Amino acid sequence: MLIISTTIMADIVYVNDAQNLSLYDAASSHSNVIKVLPTDTALTVLDKKPKNGFINVQLTDGTEGYIKARFTKAEPPEIDPKDSSSKEMSVLQSNNVTLRAELSALKETLTPGTTLEKSLAIERDKLTRELNELKKTMASSSQLRNERDELQERVVNVERDLQQYKLENQALKDTASQDWFLYGGLLSLFGVLLGFILPKLGWRRKSSWDSY
């Protein structure tokens, strides 16, 4: 079981932190792009032997394709502090609710203006400020994720347009070659016709001169 577990771990790679990777349907940069993979995406390697610098991988949803091997890493991603901010906010919210309840209970027994009441109020205000800062951090992180997803979608669209332009350019080249081939055939046919017509015209002129 230890050997099997080690083999499975060796077959998992991750998208490099500094590069978003395109997942192609073949081992070539000129093939169709299936999707763009964000950083730290976990991938299962189906074939460890690179082909033209590409390896065959599979996503967790079952999608298979090819990516550039040099933009992957074997180490799992580190936990982003921003990702844990939601947990911290939940803990702070729970602590804030608890402190509010305790403060309300103490207010009923404490004399207004005592040192304990003031310290509890200061602690409550501090927790409230920390909670608001975490909310701002969460909003900024969500906005960054949305912008990243939008940019990745634009990259996919640009790559698709580029592939379409390449196909159209190749079609134009093929059409031009066919046109030149047709023109050459017509010129050859015209030359053959002139070869038949000109001798006959010369013979007729000679016959007319001989009659005089």
| Percentage of the chain lying above the pLDDT 90 cut | 8
CA 150 to chain CA centroid, Å, is 10
- Would you kindly state where each structural domain of the chain is located, as residue ranges? 2-73, 85-155
Q: Do 33 and 22 meet the contact criterion of CB atoms below 8 Å apart?
A: yes
pLDDT tens track for 160-195? 888 888 888 888 877 777 777 777 778 888 878 877
* Model confidence band, residue 25 (pLDDT cutoffs 50, 70, 90): very high
67 Ramachandran zone, left/alpha/beta (phi>0; psi -120 to 50): beta
| Nearest-angstrom CA–CA distance, 24 and 51 | 13
Checking if the pLDDT of 31 tops 70, the result is yes
* Model confidence band, residue 24 (pLDDT cutoffs 50, 70, 90): very high
DSSP letter at 71 equals G
Checking if the pLDDT of 211 tops 60, the result is no
What CATH topology corresponds to 2-73? SH3 type barrels. (2.30.30)
| Percentage of the chain lying above the pLDDT 70 cut | 73
- Give the helix/strand (H/E) hosting 101: helix 85-109
* Model confidence band, residue 64 (pLDDT cutoffs 50, 70, 90): very high
Query: What mean pLDDT is predicted for residues 12-24?
Result: 78
